[in-house]
Amino acid sequence: MANINVGILEFEKVSSQPVEIVERKGTGHPDTICDALAEELSIALSNLYREEFGAIMHHNVDKALLIGGVADPQFKGGKILEPIEIYLTGRAIDEKNGKKLPVKELAVETAHKWLKENIPNLDIVNHVIIHPKLKPGSKDLVELFERFQLKGEIPLANDTSFGVGFAPFSDIETIVYELERALNSKEFKKDHPYVGEDIKIMGVRNKDNIRITIAMAFVDKYVNDIKDYVEKKEIVTNYAYSLAQKLTTKHVDIFINTADDIDNQSVYITVTGTSAEAGDDGQVGRGNRVNGLITPYRPMSLEAAAGKNPVSHIGKIYNTAAMDMAERIVAEIEEVEEAYCYLVSQIGKPITEPQVCDVKLRATCDVNKIKDKVLKIAQEEIDKLPTTWQKFLNRHFRLY
């Protein structure tokens, strides 16, 4: 039985406090691109290893660097002057019994595939250079990973690390998350092809006023001139307003590309739909947390989950587990209004034996009355940790 602590959230609800800040970096943001490519590579490697070894082998491909290109966007369509460069790095077993595995090739193919599907205006042949800089990593770990998965042993924590999660989302958290998802949905894009994928949303609530600031890359070839730009920005602003206002009773204001200088025709247009084309660099772990948001008024881990191995990497597993735990507690125990969960590992111990599992609740009743239910859920989630990797392979979480 794990060392589980159940306590009370004593402070005022974040949503009742006077100020709240929430951010989400959308699909085409350089940091999100890095997260996505790292995590997709981890999934592809996991699948390759399962085919070759029958089990996921050690890898950590959680460092990626995007170096922005140079572009000359123009109304009706500009051009790229220098391609974007993306370094994919980390460790991955690349050999099995002397047979070389296509680890670097997989990195290149996976990256191209994701970019093609998710940043459709980016010419993956000519506008981006993928540098697969993976290194083999230790062969000693092969046996260890075989034990974990083929012989059913519980993986051991690779580090002293922690994870945090909370539920549910406040209004502004919901708005920021859903708004980006909507603006980057296939349905929306069909009617609004001029909206690029690089959408960064910052929400600030000041008492009852929610101010949503959106930085959104327009795709130049779908915008005829400055007048057309202004009109299209207006259309998106209205769309965002009506969607956001449905999700809250508070007052919402929407601001898109506030740095635009319409008179000088200096506005946020791009050739490819992402600012990565011209100067904005990106890295793994600089963007959204595993719940899809950046929330400075909430507890956050700095862990970059994307690209980590899903079997034994504590920072990856505990953050998602803490989120799942919080969500289940809120969903399944009627009296719980809000839950915060913290998990701390001890290096070298089974991942099912955290050093600490700290659950904090805001409930409509005495916490002692529901403590057993909470402990049960927490313990169940901890017991499931050895199979969490399956959720990562199914892209169950919002890692990017």
133-152 residues in contact with a second copy (CB under 8 A) are 133, 135, 137-138
**Secondary structure element (H or E) that encloses residue 330, with its range:** helix 314-332
Near a second copy by CB under 8 A: residue from 231, 296, 372, 396: 296
Q: Does 304 bind a second copy (CB under 8 A)?
A: yes
Nearer to a second copy, 34 or 336 (CB): 34
**Distance between the two ends of the chain, CA-based, in angstroms?**
33
Q: Of 149 and 301, which CB lies nearer to a second copy in the complex structure? A: 301
Closer to a second copy by Cβ: residue 54 or 279: 279
Residue 52 near a second copy by CB under 8 A = no
What's the closest the beta carbon of residue 122 comes to a second copy, in angstroms? 12
Q: Taking CB under 8 A as the criterion, which residues in 238-267 touch a second copy?
A: 258-259
**Identified binder of a second copy from the candidate list 126, 249, 368, 394, rule CB under 8 A:** 126
11 binds a second copy (CB under 8 A): yes
Q: Which residues contact 318 (CB under 8 A, 6 or more apart)?
A: 161, 162, 163, 343, 344, 345, 354
**Contact between 101 and a second copy per CB under 8 A:** yes
According to DSSP, the β-strands at 282-283 and 59-67 are antiparallel
Determine the interface stretch with a second copy among 329-337, 344-352, 369-377, 378-386 (rule: CB under 8 A).
Answer: 344-352
**Member of 15, 248, 346, 352 binding a second copy (CB under 8 A):** 346
Does position 176 bind a second copy by CB under 8 A? no
Pick 5 or 185: Cβ nearer a second copy: 5
Between CA 399 and CA 39 the distance in angstroms is 8
Whole-angstrom distance, CA of residue 261 vs CA of residue 215: 14
Report if residue 188 touches a second copy, rule: CB under 8 A: no
Size of the site for a second copy (CB under 8 A): 85
Among 273, 282, 292, 386, binds a second copy (CB under 8 A): 282
Q: Work out whether 132 is an interface residue with a second copy (CB under 8 A).
A: yes
Does the protein bind a second copy through residue 57 (CB under 8 A)?
no
CA distance 210 to 252: 5
Contact yes or no for 14/299 (Cβ under 8 A):
no
- Neighbouring-strand partners of residue 251: 209
DSSP one-letter code for 78 = -
What string of DSSP letters covers 182-243?
Answer: HHTSHHHHHH-TTEEEEEEEEEEEETTEEEEEEEEEEEGGG--SHHHHHHHHHHHHHHHHHH
Q: Can you tell me which of 122, 199, 344, 382 binds a second copy, judged by CB under 8 A?
A: 344
Rounded distance between C-alpha atoms, residue 400 and residue 304, angstroms: 11
